[in-house]
Chain A
Amino acid sequence: MKPMKNKAFFLLASAMLMVGSGCANVKPWQRGTLADYTMRGDRDPLGKAQAEHIWFSREEASGGSGVGGGGCGCN
């Protein structure tokens, strides 16, 4: 490998390592904040309905954001 190529590789690998190490692994006992009610996507039914309406108007698609009832209209 040529020195210039080597340098570029090390820079790229170091950058990837730094980005990779920035990922945090939340342990099961540390999920109190994530389990909070305010973290729920459906905590505000009106806000959800508005967002769905905007999505439908813009993308011509609706549903699929919850657990039950996908965008297939089968329910």
Chain B
Amino acid sequence: MNTSPLKKFAVAALLAGTFFTASAALKVGDTLPDLATFHLEGKLPDALKGKVVIVDFWASWCAPCARSFPVLDELQKKYGDKLVIVAVNVDEKKANMDKFLEKHAVSFTVVRDGDQKLVAVAEPATMPTSFVLDGEGKVRFLHNGFHGEDTRKEYITEIESLLK
């Protein structure tokens, strides 16, 4: 085949571009990797298997995250042991997280992904992003951002459906 160097170069550049931009974001149907392997700061809940789990990625500088916290706290209180919420903070400085938590005290688990390794695997598209998992650790629902009452209602519908 007589391919010009120009075409060869263009194809190589395209392939290289595709390779480097390939995304491995966590999506519905995927299984969440074992959180214990990511050296997160803070204590993880003992058992997640068999429970509905919400893994929420948030940051102190994110205004919708602050609005989502009271709703998540309400859900944790409403569903008790049946629901486990793990809020994963991605702040670069721990002090920022601590300051935020002083203002927005919550009853659910908060851990910090200081190395940003877990978040790099999950690749949330927005801040906040939450993954709703079933009892087997599979992502069943995904929330990009927090949209107030709409998101709250969606959470309740999804949790109820997974608890059935």
Contact = CB atoms under 8 A, between A and B. Distances in A.
A6 B5 contact: yes
Interface in B104-132: 116, 119-120, 123-127, 129
A35 interface: yes
Nearest to B126: A28
A68 interface: no
A13 interface: yes
Interface in A20-56: 27-32, 35-36
B63 to A, nearest CB: 9
Interface of A: 1, 6, 9-10, 13, 17, 27-32, 35-36
29 contacts: A1-B4, A1-B5, A6-B5, A9-B5, A9-B6, A10-B5, A10-B9, A13-B9, A17-B13, A27-B120, A27-B123, A28-B125, A28-B126, A28-B127, A28-B129, A29-B57, A29-B59, A29-B90, A29-B116, A29-B124, A29-B127, A31-B61, A31-B127, A32-B59, A32-B60, A32-B61, A32-B91, A32-B92, A32-B96
Interface of B: 4-6, 9, 13, 57, 59-62, 90-92, 96, 116, 119-120, 123-127, 129
